[in-house]
Chains A and B, each alone.
Chain A
Amino acid sequence: MESVSSPLRCFGECHTAEKYTDDGVETVTSVEQRKVERSIQEVVSVYKQIHSLPPTLLRDQHYQYLKKGLRHLSDAYECLDASRPWLCYWILHSLELLEEPVPTAIASDVCKFLARCQSPTGGFAGGPCQAAHLAPTYAAVNALCIIGTQEAYNIIDREKLLSFLFSVKQPDGSFVMHIGGEVDVRSTYCAASVASLTNIMTPTLFQDTPTWIVSCQNWEGGLGGVPGLEAHGGYTFCGMAAMVILGKEHMLDLKSLLRWVASRQMRYEGGFQGRCNKLVDGCYSFWQAGLLPLLHRALFKGGDSTLSLQKWMFEQQALQEYILLCCQNPAGGLLDKPGKSRDFYHTCYCLSGLSVAQHFGNMDLHHELIVGREENRLVIVFSSLQAPSHPVYNICPEKVAQAIQHFHQLPVPVPAQKEGSSACNTTTDHS
């Protein structure tokens, strides 16, 4: 195990040379990038002057923020009133990364709440009495798996969940996010994740899905939301993770994908951008950096013998420094970049990314690189599909294993419904 308590990469003399070169041609892109770099420089120089300590993860502060949010949220969260299972997942996952236990009572309350979010026709909605949607379905199933009690598992109506998945399946292999809703690659990840965890995969459920996902990979090497669109970190993660779940990752051009994602790490800031020539954002610490373990495993499976045995193919130290120095709110919670407000989404994904950056390996081979104090170390965010462990589901590996073990004791439900019709026609009845 390596602990890096001295030289920080961002204190090095070569660091300033990594700043953006605009070639004397100023455009909106270069102006915005330089503004961010200036603010990072400010943070780093303040840190140099004030702190003699190595960078510290503000565990207690984050814990208080999360603990409160799990019960109460201000009216600033009205905009997430259709995403409340997400709030459960973001908070519970953050707590498990910090190795903070969830008291039994509150875990049970979360179960009961998510039960109220479950739609009578299957799947979970953003809140009670709302329509089912793949995103809160993903979040709810993940949250229940984190809780991992029998009560939690029993909440999920597997038969109805399967029929919901069929109802949003499209003839071309894609899925709409909800009845009458939009198609994009997030839906394939949400569907594959819940179907594999709860053991409801049937032979036809993901027919043509891998081909559709492959069509989202573009000239840049990453994936867009739908075929034709610009490569984007969030969508690329969803596509790749879905392919890993479906066992079809080799259908993608892994070499181009690797080149694309490796190029998304910002040389000055150390964090990741979501798209080429856009700005760094703490949440991409997971969506982008989280691709490297997936790629590592896929390349390994494909027979590659030149992979590192100790490190992911991104600068792990630089990412940790970005998160610890630039993405923490001193009062608790994490964020996009300096100057932005904290929120539970960024808290979840900054911490998830921090965990990826700290830990290399699978169950057999484990290597750690912790920046700052030993206490900064987070729980591993890997999950085991078969042998190696990788952040496919973004919940802790024990919880994945436990859930899969539980649900594989149950028979796969028999599908009652055929695939849904085209997403684009409005239905006159709604569930």
Chain B
Amino acid sequence: MYRDRKEWADLEPVPQDDGPNPVVKIAYSDKFTDVYDYFRALLKNDEKSDRALLLTAEAIELNAANYTVWHYRRVLLQALEKDLREEMRYITAIIEDQPKNYQVWHHRRMVVEWLNDPSEELEFIAEILSQDAKNYHAWQHRQWVIKEYKLWDSELEYVEQLLEEDVRNNSAWNQRHYIISHTTGYSDPAILNREVQYSLKQIKKAPHNESVWNYLKGILQDLGLSSHPGLLEQILELKETHCSPYLLGFLVDIYEDFLENTLEHHEEVLSKALELCELLAREKDTIRREYWSYVGRSLQTKYGSTSNRLIWIHSH
């Protein structure tokens, strides 16, 4: 306990003052109380010393979410001109232990910035992702490092490796979009086609994977789903052998885009779209019944002929 240590006897601990009738009062352990009483004392005196730095580590271990302690630690690191390489080792260990905490990742970012050295980052983050491939903080840190230090080169390869391990990893699909958007972009038809083919390949392997369907829509929607040659035909073919609610929803999206951008065959396309919305609402995606009914009504209102519109809406 700090209260028993000779080297700390000069400092008067500052107990937490919750007032006479506390609320949400936490039954802190003795150790917690001791460490934080001394932390408050350091803060009060604005002490900048090695012993203060050591104490922040203990305070962090007791509550790694205490952002006030982290901030103070950073102040100390700068004031005492501490070895930041050592700090990197420290924060690496803390993150391994508590990878779902905001403060630890922010701290690491600060140290990397001070050192201006991202060389360990991709490997470290990959290690964390190997334990939890969807850790949001890890991905956030990864995107920051890559953008800040222009480390784009090997990332698509890394994403493909992750998708190989789990084709349903939505974070990896997001990263795929991130890399391509920030490098080649999707406007080059060769790139777009490569991505469409890649997506269709993954769909054939696991048709009920929502991520890949969302990705396919995501990359085509700016240009327009109905504008991609042969896509509708390919999807209709897949419908026979690899059907899913996602495929049906995708067809609705293609038909809607067609209605938006073409003047011919409206009635035919509209009726196909409405049929699908009905099928989804009634049978294939009933959890989204209200949503698909709304989509149907919206399409009918926007593209339907006046006479049909009223009849249709009243029955749905």
Contact = CB atoms under 8 A, between A and B. Distances in A.
Interface of A: 14, 18, 20-23, 25, 27-30, 69-75, 77-84, 87-88, 91, 105-106, 109-110, 112-113, 116, 125-131, 133, 177-182, 218-220, 224-226, 228-232, 256, 258-259, 262-263, 265-267, 270, 275-278, 304-308, 311-315, 318, 424, 426-430
Contacts of B24: 69-71, 73, 84, 87-88, 91, 113
B63 A79 contact: yes
B22 A109 contact: yes
A428 B79 contact: yes
B266 interface: no
A82 B25 contact: no
Interface residues of B, number: 81
B224 to A, nearest CB: 14
A27 B167 CA distance: 8
Contacts of A71: 22-25
Contact of A426 (B66, B74, B298): B74
Contacts of B290: 308, 311-315
Given A29-B169, A224-B174, 12 more contacts: A29-B168, A70-B23, A81-B28, A84-B24, A125-B68, A219-B218, A220-B174, A228-B178, A270-B287, A277-B168, A277-B211, A315-B287
A268 to B, nearest CB: 9
B210 A23 contact: no
Nearest to B245: A267
A266 B297 CA distance: 24
B110 A75 contact: no
Contacts of A14: 286
B99 to A, nearest CB: 15
Contact of A127 (B16, B21, B168): B16
Given A27-B166, A71-B25, A228-B178, A428 B32 contact: no
B140 A226 contact: yes
A81 B63 contact: yes
* Residue of B64, B74, B79 with highest tally of chain A CB at under 10 A: B74
13 contacts: A29-B168, A113-B22, A113-B24, A116-B18, A129-B17, A180-B71, A219-B221, A267-B286, A276-B170, A277-B211, A314-B290, A428-B78, A428-B79
A305 B287 contact: no
Given A126-B67, A428-B75, A73 B205 contact: no
Nearest to A24: B206
B21 A181 contact: no
Contact of A81 (B66, B102, B109, B286): B66
Nearest to B214: A220
Interface of B: 14, 16-19, 21-29, 32, 36, 40, 43, 62-68, 71-72, 74-75, 78-79, 102, 105-106, 109-110, 113, 133-134, 136, 139-140, 143, 147, 165-171, 174, 177-178, 205-211, 214-215, 218-219, 221, 244, 285-291, 293-294, 297-298, 300-301, 313
Contact of A130 (B68, B136, B208): B68
A226 B102 CA distance: 14
A306 B301 contact: yes
Contacts of A133: 67
A252 B277 CA distance: 24
A179 B210 contact: no
Contacts of A87: 24
B168 A27 contact: yes
A160 to B, nearest CB: 18
B143 A228 contact: yes
B92 to A, nearest CB: 19
Nearest to B207: A23
Contacts of B40: 129
A275 B36 CA distance: 37
Contacts of B28: 75, 78, 81
A225 B105 CA distance: 14
Contacts of A307: 294
A130 B66 contact: yes
B66 A126 contact: yes
Contacts of A21: 208, 244
Contact of A229 (B17, B136, B169, B219): B136
A27 B134 CA distance: 13
Given A27-B168, A180-B71, A275 B19 contact: no
A229 B170 CA distance: 11
Given A220-B218, A275-B170, A314-B291, A81 B26 contact: yes
A29 B167 CA distance: 9
A127 B25 CA distance: 11
Nearest to A28: B166
Given A125-B68, A267-B285, A106 B23 contact: yes
A278 B134 contact: yes
Contacts of A232: 136
A105 B21 CA distance: 10
A430 B207 CA distance: 54
Contacts of B288: 262-263, 265, 314-315
A75 B27 contact: yes
